[in-house]
Structure 1
Amino acid sequence: MLDWEPHNFFRGAPFMIARLSSLVFLGENSCRDVEWLNISVNYTIDAFQATRELRLCPSIFRPLIHWILPSTRKLRKHLHAAREIVSKEIEKRAASRQLQAHESPDALNWLHEASESFNLGFDQSYGQIGLSLVAIHTTSSLLTNVIYDLAAYPEYVQPLRDEIEEVLAEDDGLKKTSLFKLRLMDSVMKESQRINPLALAFLNRIAERQVSLSDGTVIPKGATIVVSAHTFMDEAVYPNASHFDGYRFYNKRLEPGSQHSYQLVTTSSQHFAFGHGVHTCPGRFFAVNESKILLIHLLLKYDWKFKGERKRPKNIEFGIESIPDPSIELLFRSREPEIDLTALGE
């Protein structure tokens, strides 16, 4: 029996997501570039820190104060390094005539073709950093919450492994459609997102005109509004809401006509962690698929549990943010996968 080894999953998850995301965003070479991965992860950390610090300053001083804040100076340093890496990759592809989407189907080529088609002066460095900003930390927080929940509720681990084995055997490998068939995994992830969403409020909006609601409430023009996530814990919407039920959405999808209604990527007025309506997160399909791929590997290759006897740690609330506890150490040990993972996706 292999020994248990301690790991801080919260700190490691962004680098896993960064590597997987960068494969799609910037290509096979850059997803293994340690410098690029560090920029992708740390730019977002420093960006959020800079945002918090700037919000403490009166708005009139922000155009000046951002030049001297350590966090904003770090952002400029990250961007300078990112520009060098992206520029070198563009020059390399241009020299080998591979700067077309059909030659290398990643975001670097997609954005290049789009900017040329619409005659836009597009800065690819900003584009790549922007993709990292919206993709890495939100997805890693989702995955970290799921890992914490599976450590707290290990009774779901074996059923998840059984589902993975069954689906991959049926599909003779891992395909895009395989991820859709992992209904229990999808349900467990959606339940984790319900109980531990990334924020305490969503759907941030500014009223462009005065709005009168049906209950008499008047929202004045220019007001900032958000929608509270308390609905996720509303007993009228989710019976026994405080209880983690990994089969909650799995069972809902068994109801007639509800096969597609309760997927993780599905939004509604009861579950809007990915937003809702016109401005629903367009990247949620990508985020969910890469999280499932990582979870397949983690479930089949490792066992994990909390270090010591403890319950599921509560998320840390900062403003309206809800952050998985970064201090938690999990114990991991390797296991023999039920199937050959080296053949996945071939």
Structure 2
Amino acid sequence: MSLPTSLQEFIATRSSVHLIALASVLTLVAFLILRSLATKRLDDTIPLYTPQGDYKKRWSYDNPHALREAYSQNRNSLFKIWTSQGHWLALPARYLDELKMQPDTKFPSALQSFFLGPYLWPVEKWKLDYVHKGLHKDLNKHLPSMFADARDGANTMTPVEFPECKDWTPIKVHPTVLRLVSKINTKLLIGNGLEKNKEWIDISASYTKNIFLSSAKLRVFHPVFRPVVQYFIPELRDVWRCNRRAKELLAPILAEKIKQERDQDYKKPVDSIEWIRDDASDPKDKNDSHLHAILQLILGALSVNTTSQLITNCIYNLATYPEYTIILRDEAKAALVEAGGEWTMDSMAKLEKTDSFIKETLRHAGHLTLTFQREAKTTLTLKDGTQIPAGSTVFFPTNAVNFDVTLYPSPERFEPLRFYNLRHTSPGNEKKFQLTSITAEQMQFGMGRHACPGRAIASHQVKLILAYLLDKYDFKLKEGQGRPKTVLFQTNQFPDPQGEILFRARR
């Protein structure tokens, strides 16, 4: 649905007050219209868990604990729970192996529906899969060269974003890390000098926040009202603006690629634009700057946001548990000396305590409280006879499993060497508890067809940046203040974006 340009411009000037007023009116109308209609529910034979208290409020603002309550009472069985998107099904771990490789025709990812993609990205839905296919096919194939770029980026760009700090200096960690990761990821995935373009980095750094807030605000309204409400959401208008501007910034790069391809000595570069061009099944998509702009922004949102949040939480934890800065710094120093003074992928693998510290950070504060979100296009009958009804959305309660006392003794306690110790309890455990490992008990990166394809390079990137910061700085909390709090909203866990940590250059 589209509105006349003049009306769009008028709406674009309205303040959030108008959105609130509109929301109130539409909500009342929706209530009057819909209260007599039957609510679509899942199979009544599947038990419904209702968290204590105001469960709708808890889903939005106390999601981790609400899911932990539900999981503790339904650990080994399928159950449904109310969400802002209707009733969803929570899967027990025993069904994951059976479901993880189901084809997308029957059991696709639910993330596009969760984000309400058609309102954010005006392209055919199936074309958004170019990103996932390109990464799965090409990313790890080029991991060695990408690692070298990540190493160079960490060494050259980290000192630009973090000041010298001769004395204790407060730094807002998340926005600083966000810009740093945006630059490095742009260099890794797009290149062509775009990492030096301030406007592109600004767009990349803000895009994730805006798509999350846009979809969250849209989900408040019944689908019948969303075609109108969309024009009153400022973050969504900003998404559209970024889509248009990104097209303008990428168009010259695509034009130059087309020109270079005519050269007899042309050698195809390694970048995500080429991966997507190679995978484009529609020839018109190969050089469509509008499509490429949206796909690159989505790719950045998926990679930049999760990596920067993990690094931010690691820095918060280093300041909270300063005794571990010495342990991790000594480990990094020994590994770097053994490697001859330059990080390699092999020397990174020797940072087992650092790997454990990062993994424990991720266990406590993963980006999402649930993963493995899928939509059942047809009714699926499992081996034990359990049925997943057609039309249902399922998920795995990852955060709840992370705090399962039967899996992790004293799960509420932050134990930086928890996974290091687990790796060394028996000879068969060396690779089972790494940061990038995926098992039914370790699902932060998803599982199966839609598991995160970039977790290996992301792991290296986090370690390279932390190793640099540990070598150059000391950290501590501000006087009288504790660790910056985690911000909860629905299934998201965000590190405090305003949180400050004191930095000082090592003497």
TM-score normalized by the length of structure 1: 0.89
Give, as a single letter, the amino acid of the residue that structure 2 aligns with 1:26. Answer: I
Matched, 1:306 2:477: yes
C-alpha distance 46-250 of structure 1, shift in aligned 2 (>3 A)? same
Give the CA deviation at 1:77. Answer: 0.9
Larger mean Cα displacement after TM superposition, 93-102 or 44-53: 93-102
Separation of aligned partners in 2, 1:214 and 1:138: 35
For residues 186 and 98 of structure 1, do their structure 2 counterparts lie closer, same or farther at Cα, with a shift above 3 Å needed? farther
Q: Is the 8 A contact 1:98 1:104 kept in 2?
A: no
Matched, 1:52 2:211: no
Q: Which runs of 5+ in 1 are unaligned?
A: 337-346
Counterpart position of 2:62: none
Separation (CA, whole Å) in 2 of partners of 1:251 and 1:30 = 42
- Residues 169 and 118 of structure 1, relative CA distance in 2, 3 Å threshold: farther
Distance 1:101 1:324 in 2: 45
1:171 alignment partner, one of 339, 342, 351 = 339
Supply the RMSD in Å over aligned alpha carbons: 2.5
Spell out, residue by residue over 1:82-130, the C-alpha distance to the aligned partner (whole angstroms, 9 max, x if none): 1111112223444455999955322223333444x87461432122112
Distance across 2 between alignment mates of 1:121 and 1:211:
34
Shift of 1:174: 0.8
The 1:287–1:221 alpha-carbon spacing in structure 2 relative to 1, beyond 3 Å, is same
Structure with more contact order per residue of length (Cα contacts < 8 Å, sep ≥ 6): 2
2:196 to 29, 32, 51: 32
State the match for 1:280 in structure 2.
Answer: 451
Aligned partner of 1:111 among 268, 276, 297 = 276
Structure 1 window deviating more from structure 2 (102-111 vs 249-258): it is: 102-111
Rounded Cα–Cα distance in structure 1 between residues aligned with 2:423 and 2:448: 21
Q: CA–CA distance in 1 between the matches of 2:436 and 2:320?
A: 24
Work out whether residues 101 and 109 of structure 1, in 8 Å CA contact, stay in contact via their aligned partners in 2.
no
Query: Does structure 1 retain, via aligned residues, the 8 Å contact 2:192–2:253?
Result: no
Aligned residue for 1:138?
306
Match in the other structure for 1:121 = 285
Helix, strand or coil for the counterpart of 1:86? helix
C-alpha separation in 2, matches of 1:269 and 1:35: 41
* Aligned position for 1:324: 495
| Alignment partner of 1:237 is 2:407 | yes
Check 1:133–1:2 CA distance in 2 against 1; reply closer, same or farther (3 A cut): closer
TM normalised by structure 2 equals 0.62
Give the whole-Å Cα distance in 1 for the aligned partners of 2:386 and 2:282: 44
Partners of 1:98 and 1:84 in 2: CA distance: 23
Q: Aligned letter for 1:190? A: K
Per-residue deviation, 1:327: 2.7
Q: Which residue number in structure 2 is paired with residue 344 of structure 1?
A: none
Q: Deviations over 1:265-286 (max 9, x none)?
A: 1011111111123321111112
Code of the residue aligned with 1:231 in structure 2: it is V
- Residues 215, 149 of structure 1: alpha-carbon distance in 2 compared, 3 angstrom cutoff: farther
Residue of structure 1 in register with 2:182 after alignment: 18
Q: Distance in 1 between matches of 2:169 and 2:262?
A: 43
1:206 aligns with 2:375: yes
1:156-213 Cα deviation digits (max 9, x unpaired):
1111111111111112211122222211111000001111122222222223444577
Show structure 2 runs of 5+ residues with no match: 1-164
Change (3 A) 1:209 1:179: same
**Over alpha carbons, which structure has the higher Rg?**
2
**2:356 matched residue in structure 1:** 187
Distance 1:10 1:224 in 2: 32
Looking at structure 2, the residues matched to 98 and 311 of structure 1 have their Cα atoms a distance apart, in angstroms, of 59
Q: Report if the CA contact (8 A) 2:484-2:500 is conserved.
A: no
Find the counterpart in structure 1 of residue 250 from structure 2: 86
Q: Give the distance between the partners of 1:68 and 1:327, measured in 2 at CA.
A: 27
Contact 2:190–2:273 (CA under 8 A) maintained in structure 1: yes
Using the TM superposition, name which of 215-224 and 264-273 deviates more: 215-224
Q: Within the alignment, does 1:5 sit opposite 2:186 as a pair?
A: no
Deviation at 1:40, TM superposition (A): 0.7
- State the alpha-carbon separation in 2 of the partners of residues 85 and 307 from structure 1: 41
Picking from 411, 435, 455, the partner of 1:264 is 435
Distance of 2:411 and 2:210 partners within structure 1? 35
Q: 1:187–1:102: structure 2 CA closer, same or farther, 3 Å change rule?
A: farther
C-alpha deviation, 1:214, in angstroms: 9.0
The aligned counterpart of 1:197 is 366
2:496 partner SS: coil
In 2, distance between residues paired with 1:178 and 1:45? 34
Report Cα offsets for 1:15-50 as digits up to 9, x if no partner.
111001000122151111110100111122111111
Aligned mate of 1:223, from 392, 399, 404: 392
Q: What do the CA deviations read for 1:192-237 (whole angstroms, capped 9, x no partner)?
A: 1111122222222223444577999764332222222211111210
Change (3 A) 1:91 1:2: same
- Report the CA distance shift for 1:268/1:98 in structure 2 as closer, same or farther (over 3 A): farther
Percentage of identical aligned residues: 32
Looking at structure 2, the residues matched to 88 and 232 of structure 1 have their Cα atoms a distance apart, in angstroms, of: 46
SS of match in other structure, 1:129: helix
**How is 1:89-100 mapped onto 2 (pairs within 5 angstroms)?**
89-96=253-260
- Call closer, same or farther: CA 1:18–1:233 in 2, change over 3 Å: same
**1:257 counterpart SS class:** helix
Q: Please list the CA deviations of residues 225-261 of structure 1 after superposition, one character each: whole Å capped at 9, or x if unmatched.
A: 2222211111210112122111111111122111111
Question: How far apart in 1 are the matches of 2:275 and 2:334?
Answer: 35
